[in-house]
Structure 1
Amino acid sequence: MNLDLQKPNITYPCKWEYRIIGKDEKKLRELIFEIMPREYEVKFGKNSAQGHYVSLYVEVEVLSEKERNDIFATLQQSQEVKMVL
């Protein structure tokens, strides 16, 4: 069995979805508004079982791998964000 991880073949530009998890939905939405480079779509994910966290799905067209990774890194660095998938 070949367990080598291969980089996926992604053709840019393409739509990309980020799942963002944090404590405050309003603050997450404000953060998304501030950093997205162009039009995007936000969908509510769900609340955690205990109600401490909320998840949002954000879909945006990314023009390159660098832009995709930069958005991910910016989201990840925010204090409002617990996790980005």
Structure 2
Amino acid sequence: MVDLNKEKLKLDYPCSWVYKIVILQDDNAKKIVKDVLGGRTHTLKASKTSKKGKFASFNIDLIVHNDEDRTYLYEILGKHSQIKMVL
């Protein structure tokens, strides 16, 4: 078995990266993502809605330029008050 904790993710930058965010169903995903990413080029697509309809998930597809850029975007998405989870 491979111990993934010892392996570093190897990516060729720049590359396309997808973040999945979870927000409340009634929140405006386009506005939230624009607040975080500003004018950065991205694609936002609805993914799933929770069984009870309280939460919705969306995929954000964009180009990341290096490892620091990728992790920074993850962090700022996670810090937004209306984003409940980032994957």
Is the TM-score greater than 0.5? yes
SS in structure 2 opposite 1:74?
Answer: helix
Give the length in aligned residue pairs: 84
Moved beyond 3 Å, runs of 4+: none
| Alpha-carbon distance in structure 1 between the residues aligned to 2:8 and 2:68 | 14
Tell me the residue number matched to 2:45. Answer: 43
CA distance in 2, matches of 1:79, 1:43: 20
Q: Distance in 2 between matches of 1:75 and 1:4?
A: 25
Unaligned runs of 5+ in 1: none
Matched, 1:3 2:3: yes
For the aligned residue pairs, the C-alpha RMSD in angstroms reads: 1.4
Residue identity matched to 1:3:
D
- Which residue is equivalent to 1:19? 20
Shift of the 4–64 alpha-carbon distance from structure 1 to 2, 3 Å rule, reads closer
Any idea what SS the aligned residue of 2:51 has?
Answer: coil
Counterpart mapping for 1:49-68 below 5 A = 49-68=51-70
What is the TM-score of this pair, normalised by structure 1?
A: 0.88
Q: Which amino acid aligns with 1:79?
A: S
TM superposition shift of 1:64: 1.1
Task: Normalising by structure 2, report the TM-score.
Answer: 0.86
In structure 2, the gaps of 5 or more residues are none
